[in-house]
Structure 1
């Protein structure tokens, strides 16, 4: 169980806090969805949860243990927006082994199977994959680390409707084994698989019912079909 209690992030150079008294609970095998516009603090929240930025105040706990930056780096696996821009390996195998030279072949195949890429040759270049396959590979890179919490920043950005649907189905499958926290500016199809939803605006987090976004997405889909 992830608990955030009155989490604050107010860097010295900022006139006001970027995150203001954030309270959030996310249970194991749940997908939490944080929806907000650009500049609302979504990516900052993920950076703090992954140990890349240091909170200013408040508490972060996993079960009953308060989390330090080192704990967070071990606990969470962060998939950046457009993760394909961060690939460094020349092949799928090299990408998965970065930072894990001791990784066993069965672990590599298991991670790829989890994201539906076990049919691809390990010698294939990550840059030669489709957009949807690249997002899946980025998830496999994090699964290799066996995190408790997957953190995803705008996972469907830039994908066509078919790839978005495939990725949403994959996330629904992954939450059977992991907790997921997803941030996005557009709930879209993600609302249908979310267990908890919040809006984030001007650094303030407010809980909402997932149905709120699901109904909105349904109306948009109906309008598009009518065109």
Structure 2
């Protein structure tokens, strides 16, 4: 279990803290959610959890042990909003091999299979993929690191309804073996997939008792339609 205990964060250039005494716990085998408006500090929260930003005060723990930034970076996998903007490889294969120089083609295809893209050509350019495929590729890159905590910043942003449904189904699968935290300004999209979480406002977390169910239904395969 990952825990934040009374974590605050104030950048050196800010006049007020972005996070104020934030506490939460994330359990393996469950997906949780933090909702909040744009600019509320959701991305900053992920950066603190993942070790990219050092809290001004408080503790981040894994299984009861306090971790430093380097340890958190090993523990967590972070997928940024619009991850396609951060791709560095000229091909899918190169993108998967970043940080994994000895990655074989078989291992790369196994990672793609985990995110539902088995058989995708490793020579294809990432920018030629659809928006949903680019999100899946970003997830595959992080899953190769075998993170115990997977952090997703607005994973459905900019996607149409059908592709959003595919990403939601994938999140349900990925959360079975790791702790997953999604941050979003549209919590209603995750109703029925994620059953609880928090709302971030004025630097503090408030529990969400339940998430509303997404109004548009996830598209069903044609073979299952009446």
TM-score (norm 1): 0.92
Q: Is the 8 A contact 1:80 1:153 kept in 2?
A: yes
**Deviation, structure 1 residue 26:** 1.1
Counterpart position of 1:174: 174
Aligned-partner Cα distance in 2 for 1:120–1:107: 13
Counterpart position of 1:134: 134
1:16-60 deviations in Å (ceiling 9; x for gaps)? 110010010111111010000011110000111111111100011
Aligned-partner Cα distance in 2 for 1:87–1:14: 30
Query: Which aligned runs of 4 or more in structure 1 are off by greater than 6 angstroms?
Result: none
**Structure 1 portions without partners, runs of 5+:** 223-227
Counterpart position of 1:144: 144
Aligned-partner Cα distance in 1 for 2:91–2:125: 4
Aligned-partner Cα distance in 2 for 1:50–1:146: 14
**Structure 2 portions without partners, runs of 5+:** 218-226
Alignment of 1:177-216 (within 5 A): 177-210=177-210, 213-215=211-213
Matched pairs, number: 217
Aligned-partner Cα distance in 1 for 2:206–2:41: 13
Query: Are residue 109 (structure 1) and residue 109 (structure 2) matched?
Result: yes
Alignment of 1:39-188 (within 5 A): 39-188=39-188
TM-score (norm 2): 0.92
**Deviation, structure 1 residue 105:** 3.2
